[in-house]
Chains A and B, each alone.
Chain A
Amino acid sequence: KAGVTQTPRYLIKTRGQQVTLSCSPISGHRSVSWYQQTPGQGLQFLFEYFSETQRNKGNFPGRFSGRQFSNSRSEMNVSTLELGDSALYLCASSSLKSGGGRTEAFFGQGTRLTVV
């Protein structure tokens, strides 16, 4: 089985621009979560999607948004980039039975975003 694929791996953007990151989960996984990792704040939960519905959202401003497609692929978008958005953005997929507890998450290699 192919793992979780995130594209692009590296990205450099200018303040004020917007960016879209992509995540392809493991085949058959319907749950996709996004995390931001920075040296200062650690791993912070952004949002989780299951069957195209956002089920949970972290404490991030509205500039951070996401969506999930019918094939479970997910994208996250950050608008009006700020220097503080520079981070490693990680996507994770998991196989979640409806109504059940969460199983282990499988992470992609991440997208390293640098805002200059």
Chain B
Amino acid sequence: SQQGEEDPQALSIQEGENATMNCSYKTSINNLQWYRQNSGRGLVHLILIRSNEREKHSGRLRVTLDTSKKSSSLLITASRAADTASYFCATVSDYKLSFGAGTTVTVRA
């Protein structure tokens, strides 16, 4: 079974708009990570947020973590066509990454 659940399952936005996706998880974690996957290829690590952090930024990405609600959000600002991909959250515990089902983001030109 998957630890994280992303919401929404799919998102379609216009280039330049912001994209927000959420992740909920069930058990305690060491950290939470976000990954991107372009169609049928390997995953690319985007950002890692530790359980004692609340917010983290990396370029156009902003991640928040609320351990009391067991949830995280990923915000992509000023989206570009190249941001079209599936985005996964992954929780880490006991040396294992557990992935959610992912959010498919389509950025329209």
Asked if A and B are interacting partners, one says yes
Q: Which residues of chain A have a CB within 8 Å of any CB of chain B?
A: 4, 31, 33, 35, 42-45, 48, 50, 55-56, 58, 88, 90, 92, 96, 101-110, 112
- Find chain A residues with CB under 8 A from B101 CB: 42
B48 touches A103 (CB 8 A): yes
Q: Which residue on chain B has the smallest CB distance to residue A31?
A: B95
- Indicate with 1 or 0, residue by residue over B1-32, a CB within 8 angstroms of chain A CB atoms: 01000000000000000000000000000110
Q: Cα distance A44–B3 when bound, in Å?
A: 10
A102 touches B43 (CB 8 A): no
Q: Cα distance A109–B38 when bound, in Å?
A: 10
Q: Which residue on chain B has the smallest CB distance to residue A41?
A: B2
The 8 Å CB contact of B42, one of A42, A45, A50, A107, is: A107
Judge if B88 is at the interface, Cβ distance under 8 Å.
Answer: yes
Q: Cα distance A56–B94 when bound, in Å?
A: 8
- Find chain A residues with CB under 8 A from B94 CB: 56
A101 touches B30 (CB 8 A): yes
Q: Cα distance A76–B92 when bound, in Å?
A: 22
For chain A, what secondary structure do more than half of its interface residues adopt (helix, strand, loop), or is it mixed? strand
Q: Nearest Cβ distance between residue B67 and chain A, in whole angstroms?
A: 14
B97 touches A55 (CB 8 A): no
- Find chain B residues with CB under 8 A from A4 CB: 42
A107 touches B30 (CB 8 A): no
Given the known A-B contacts A42-B2, A42-B102, A43-B88, are A102 and B97 also in contact in the complex, defined by CB atoms under 8 Å? yes
Which B residues between 23 and 79 are near A, CB-CB below 8 angstroms? 30-31, 33, 35, 40-45, 48, 50
A102 touches B41 (CB 8 A): no
Q: Nearest Cβ distance between residue A103 and chain B, in whole angstroms?
A: 7
- Find chain B residues with CB under 8 A from A92 CB: 43, 97
- Find chain A residues with CB under 8 A from B96 CB: 33, 45, 48, 56, 58
Q: Which residue on chain B has the smallest CB distance to residue A47?
A: B96
B97 touches A101 (CB 8 A): no
- Find chain A residues with CB under 8 A from B50 CB: 101
Q: Would you give 16 A-B contacts (Cβ < 8 Å), ordered by A?
A: A33-B96, A42-B2, A43-B99, A44-B2, A45-B98, A90-B42, A90-B43, A92-B97, A102-B92, A102-B95, A103-B48, A104-B33, A107-B35, A108-B42, A109-B41, A110-B42
